[in-house]
Amino acid sequence: MDNTSDIATLQAQVSELTKRLTNVEDRLAIERLQFSYGYYLDKCLYEEVVDLFADDGEVVFLRGAFKSKESVARLYIGRFRKKFTNDYNGPVFGFLLDHAQMQGIVTISDDGKSAKGRFRSMMQAGMHMMAGADTRQWWEGGVYENEYVKVDGVWKIKRLNYRCAFHGTFENGWAYTKPNFVPFYTEADLYPGNPTGPDAIDYTAVSWPEVDVVDFHYPHPTTGAPWEGQRPRPE
């Protein structure tokens, strides 16, 4: 092998290693982005949450689709901040809302400009008896199937698709959760009729005791078979 061939081989190896390193760094950056989302949401830092989204970012929550960064702000600042902290951007006495972000699986696109990620959230929440009349405590769990985009070298949330799997009171657990425990958005809730409502409705979401499989964005890790959608229910 001559020197020219040696150099070409080394250049190819460096290029491949650089690509692999960039992929690893991108996956770590997206995990950091998603984990930061959970930490900010824990402490009711809703303005910081909105800043994690791209300008054309979107959130799907309780069947409501909020289809721009302005709409995302309508959800986090217009609904959550007013409801949970009386329009204060930050934690308030006696209110607990912890969103642990776990089991991240991130897939970077071939061009390195976009990505998809699946995460799980396990939430514990409540209002302390000394914080007001609405004393309560509950559990919540769900799955994210998200999309991300790299903007000027910075990863941002393109689409946060949160599919809540269950709610349950702390006292009785999830075995006694009534259907539609936290009501889904409906057509009657659409913006601008509802000033904090979504732009559209996604009817595919269900909640406990109904169950489904949130589509996997990645193929099976050992067979390589792509996910083909919801399994049919047994008769």
Query: Measured between alpha carbons, how far is residue 215 from residues 151, 170, 220, 231 in Å?
Result: 26, 29, 12, 10
Tell me if 36 sits within 8 A of 157, measured CB to CB: no
In a domain, 62, yes or no: yes
In a domain, 22, yes or no: yes
In a domain, 220, yes or no: no
Distance CA 116, CA 191 (A): 28
In a domain, 215, yes or no: no
Of 217, 89, 93, nearest to 146 by C-alpha is 217
pLDDT above 80: residue 231: no
The pLDDT value given to residue 232: 66
Domain with 19, as residue range(s), is 3-201
Domain count, the chain: 1
| Residues 82-101 pLDDT 10s | 999 999 999 999 999 999 99
The pLDDT value given to residue 131: 87
For residues 187-193, average pLDDT: 96
In a domain, 50, yes or no: yes
Q: What is the mean pLDDT of the chain?
A: 93
The pLDDT value given to residue 193: 96
The pLDDT value given to residue 15: 82
pLDDT above 80: residue 102: yes
| Residues 5-43 pLDDT 10s | 888 888 888 888 888 899 999 999 999 999 999 999 999
The pLDDT value given to residue 154: 97
Instruction: Report percent pLDDT > 90 for the chain.
Output: 82
Least confident of 35-39, 106-110, 178-182, 215-219: 178-182
Task: Kindly give, in sequence order, each residue whose CB lies less than 8 Å from that of residue 40, ignoring residues fewer than 6 positions away.
Answer: 46, 48, 49, 52
In a domain, 35, yes or no: yes
| Residues 125-175 pLDDT 10s | 999 999 877 888 999 999 999 999 999 999 999 999 999 999 999 899 999
Name the residue type at position 171: E
For residues 202-207, average pLDDT: 92
Which CATH number covers residue 63? 3.10.450.50
In a domain, 117, yes or no: yes
The pLDDT value given to residue 235: 58
pLDDT above 60: residue 52: yes
In a domain, 226, yes or no: no
